[in-house]
Amino acid sequence: MTLKELITGSTQRQLDAIQHTRGPLLILAGAGTGKTTTITTKIAYMVKE
């Protein structure tokens, strides 16, 4: 999967977390909501930027 595909499949709140760059960020959500995908996409986004 490309970064663009990962971002396209994300919700607006996940996109906000992925693009957040100003300090620490807490991702708090229930099981199966995409936390791991959001975090790994955020890492890929940070490496690419």
In the structure encoding, which two tokens stand for residue 9, read together? 């499949």
The pLDDT score that the predictor gives to residue 35 is 96
Q: How many CB atoms lie within 10 A of CB 18?
A: 23
The pLDDT score that the predictor gives to residue 49 is 83
For each of the chain's 49 residues, which pLDDT tens digit applies?
Answer: 888 988 998 999 999 999 998 999 999 999 999 999 999 999 999 999 8
Please report, for the chain, the start and end positions of each structural domain, with discontinuous segments joined by +. Answer: 3-48
User: Position of tokens 């936390």?
Assistant: 35
In the structure encoding, which two tokens stand for residue 21, read together? 């760059």
